[in-house]
Amino acid sequence: MSTEAGLPDKPRLKRSGRAPRTGILHLGPGAFFRAFNAVYTDEAMATAGGDWGITAVSLRSPTVRDQLAPQDCVYTSVARSPDGDRPKIVGAINRVLVAPEAQEAVIAAMADPAVRIVSMTITEKGYCHEPATGRLNADHPDITHDLAHPATPRSAAGFIVAALKRRRANGSPPFTVLSCDNLPSNGRLAQSVVLEFAERVDPKLADWISAQVPFPATMVDRITPATTEGDITRLAEEAGYCDRACVVHEPFRQWVIEDRFAAGRPAWEEAGAQFVDDVEAHELMKLRCLNGTHSALAYLGYLAGFETIADTVADGDFSRYCENLWTAEIVPTIPTPQGENLHVYCATLMQRYRNPAIQHRTWQIAMDGSQKLPQRILGTIRDNLEADRVPTGLCLAVAGWMRYVGGVDENGSSIDVQDPLADRLRAASDSATDPEGKVAALLAIEEVFDPALAADPHFREAVVRAYSALAERGSAASVREAAK
């Protein structure tokens, strides 16, 4: 029986059988990876075989290692819907390394020729790039550290370049770098930051990486809220075992992948993945239709007092506002991907948002907005402006983000803003007392806003007007007006 403090009084989940041999090393084994990538890989190996076990590497915290190690790295993936829970034990992960504790072990693992794919779910901020330009942020503390101390890297780019340098020196073949983050052209972004970093280390190494290492783009989609103590207790009561590493997610999933790999891949198509020549249209569809409205609902919903997305869209004004965004401002900017119907896709999204069993907190989605806004919302705004349309609904979302990062909600309570630029954003907001001044100060932050967009008079005017409405009437009233 479990004796650790705070654990349900059930036996700990354990592996039955042998762990799969490593073929993939994954950076960032958070909840989404365990609800998505590892599940696809587990199912692919079960159907088609292959040595595609996953060595998971946490770049920051030992939490996932401490959760998984006592369970032989197996855990439960729980698909939750109004009809109930469907648990599945996943055994694709075979070990977890914590990078700050074992930099050399991580580099050695990545340099092992058995590793044919290095995949990543490190979130936007993990790329150490400028979100407005996509370029490597050479002044990022982790990048400056890694360039000065290449044997003890901190960043994903630092580890990847160190490992590829060793493989090249050893005459080993390269691995594929597979970004699985919610970013436009995520393969190109990963390639850009890795090549820029490598160029500063060794231009000849950068040339070798450019010629030899594939960086396929992907589109990933599965809503995965943060696991709660209640989720762990519920699973223990229903399944009869304790699993500290369990993840809860919606039943829906979609993975679209460019089929470019250096040394093979799992048969992910056997688990439902779609392999295509070009992911861009699917990627744009998902980033703008799902992630864009998710962020809009998160900021405005949080300000209106809603705790989850399901709570937010249960309000008729917010659901109509979301549908208006799709119809009038988002779908007109997206080319239809092969095999997709954009209006059906958006209707399915609303059904997913309404799932009351998925408690996806607005506060969780609101994290790291300075990194997310350029990809999820600002590009759509730019495309509308170029078509001589002022997207007032999306400008309201931007104003909602500006109110949110000001750090004080509509009741005067403090907001726990989790963002790498949180202090600068709060200082910019506090530097002015009126809506026009606050908007101007925040638009001047070039890491978020491209100067050309920030200078557009139609955009500035719409955001100032929306911010004024939020300040005067509040989020609920502003959304009600936008929903008409």
Q: What is the pLDDT of residue 338?
A: 82
Q: Which among 390, 408, 311 has a CA at the least distance from the CA of 353?
A: 311
Q: Which two tokens stand for residue 472?
A: 């005067």
pLDDT > 80? residue 94: yes
Contacts of 405 (CB under 8 A, 6+ apart): 369, 370, 417, 419, 422, 425, 426, 429, 442
Whole-number Cα distances in Å, 8 to 2, 62, 229, 238, 440: 7, 21, 10, 12, 51
- Please give the mean pLDDT across all residues of the chain: 96
Q: What is the mean pLDDT of residues 86-95?
A: 98
Place of tokens 């044997």: 151
Residues 182-213 pLDDT 10s = 888 999 999 999 999 999 999 999 999 999 99
Say if residue 481's pLDDT is above 60.
yes
Do the Cβ atoms of 24 and 41 come closer than 8 Å?
Answer: yes
Task: Give the pLDDT score at 133.
Answer: 85
End-to-end CA distance of the chain: 57
* Distance, CA of 291 to chain centre: 9
Q: What is the mean pLDDT of residues 273-283?
A: 92
Domains of the chain, each with CATH number or no CATH: 22-276 (3.40.50.720), 280-482 (1.10.1040.10)
Number of H helices, E strands in the chain: 23, 11
**Cα–Cα distance measured from residue 352 to residue 86, given in angstroms and rounded to the nearest whole number:** 17
Q: Cβ contacts of residue 26 below 8 Å, gap of 6+?
A: 33, 37, 38, 54, 55, 56, 57, 118, 119, 120, 121
Residue 364 clears pLDDT 80, i.e. is over it: yes
Q: Who contacts 35 (Cβ-Cβ below 8 Å, separation ≥6)?
A: 77, 222, 224, 247, 248, 249
Residue with the two structure tokens 């070009």 = 278
Q: Which of 463, 469, 310 is nearest to 394 (CA)?
A: 463
Enter the pTM of the model: 0.87
User: Which of the 8 DSSP states describes residue 75?
Assistant: E
In this predicted model, what pLDDT tens digit does every residue of 4-25 receive, in sequence order?
A: 556 678 999 999 999 999 999 9
Q: Please give the C-alpha separations between residue 183 and each of 38, 129, 211, 354, in angstroms, as whole numbers.
A: 20, 12, 23, 24
Using CA atoms, how far apart are residues 302 and 423, in angstroms rounded to an integer? 20
Tens-digit pLDDT profile for residues 29-55: 999 999 999 999 999 999 999 999 999
State what percent of residues in the chain have pLDDT above 90: 95
- Strands of the sheet with 93-98, listed across from one edge: 93-98, 53-58, 22-27, 117-120, 176-179
Diameter of the chain measured on Cα atoms: 65
Q: What is the mean pLDDT of residues 346-366?
A: 95
Helix (H) or strand (E) holding 405: helix 392-405
pLDDT value at residue 6:
60
DSSP secondary structure, 164-209, as one string: HHHHHHHTPPPPEEEE-SS-TTHHHHHHHHHHHHHHHH-HHHHHHH
* Helix (H/G/I), strand (E/B), else coil: 39: helix
**Are 247 and 227 a contacting pair, CB within 8 Å?**
yes
pLDDT tens per residue, range 112-145: 999 999 999 999 999 999 988 889 999 999 999 9
Q: What pLDDT score was predicted for residue 3? A: 42
What is the DSSP track for 322-356?
HHHIIIIIIGGGSPPPTT--HHHHHHHHHHHHT-T
pLDDT band at 60 (very low <50, low <70, confident <90, very high): very high
Provide the pLDDT for residue 1.
38
Radius of gyration of the chain from Cα atoms? 22
Q: What angle do CA 472, 477, 483 make, to 5 degrees?
A: 135
What distance in Å separates the CA atoms of residue 311 and residue 108, rounded to the nearest whole number? 47
Q: How, if at all, do strands 247-249 and 75-81 pair?
A: parallel
Distance (Å, whole) CA 278 – CA 162: 29
Structure tokens at 289: 């239709």
Give the pLDDT confidence score for residue 7 in this predicted structure.
Answer: 66
Q: Is the dihedral of CA 35, 40, 59, 68 positive or negative?
A: positive
d(CA 296, CA 320): 13
278 by DSSP, 3-state: which? coil
